[in-house]
């Protein structure tokens, strides 16, 4: 299959969830999406390895899921919203995952968020009441 190059393809540390990136992660995303249902989360908790096998994960994807390697799953083509369905019910917050993505502690990540928020009210006022990053 041929894929079109995009401007975002060469941005370091950026994993855009598009057709090309997700193409090889169908089984992984199907497993992660299955966590919408409590019975599936329970089945995973009873036997995580067997649950991965049920969805046909290859050895690499299975290792990422069992190791809760969220950055690895993202790099492999996982949809971040589907990953949240795995993480949050098991006590991993979005901030925990964000910290793992950057290779820092959750406390360091939270400090970075707070630092970025410093003066936000004034920044919003200067931009007419909205923020564009």
The pLDDT tens digits for 96-121 are 888 887 889 999 999 998 888 888 78
Q: Is the pLDDT of residue 71 over 90?
A: no
Mean pLDDT across the stretch 56-64?
A: 96
On whether the pTM is more than 0.85, the answer is no
Residues 6+ apart with CB under 8 A from 95: 106, 109, 110, 113
Tokens standing for residue 12: 């370091």
CA distance 64 to 39: 22
**Domains with residue ranges and CATH for the chain:** 7-102 (1.10.700.10)
CA distance 75 to 17: 10
Question: 4-36: per-residue pLDDT in tens?
Answer: 776 766 666 666 666 666 778 999 999 999 999
C-alpha torsion angle, residues 111, 114, 119, 125 (rounded to 10): 150
pLDDT grade for 67, boundaries at 50, 70 and 90: very high
């Amino acid at each position: 299959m041929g894929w079109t190059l995009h401007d975002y393809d060469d941005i370091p540390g950026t994993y855009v969830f598009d057709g090309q990136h997700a193409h090889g992660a169908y089984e992984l995303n199907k497993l992660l999406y299955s966590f919408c249902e409590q019975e599936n989360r329970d089945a995973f908790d009873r036997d995580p390895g067997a649950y991965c096998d049920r969805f046909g994960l290859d050895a690499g994807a299975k290792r990422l899921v069992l190791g809760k390697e969220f950055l690895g799953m993202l790099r492999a083509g996982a949809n971040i919203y589907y990953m949240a369905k795995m993480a949050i019910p098991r006590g991993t917050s979005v901030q925990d995952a964000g910290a793992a993505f950057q290779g820092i502690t959750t406390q360091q990540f939270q400090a970075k968020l707070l630092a970025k928020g410093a003066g936000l009210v004034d920044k919003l006022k200067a931009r007419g009441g909205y923020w564009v990053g």
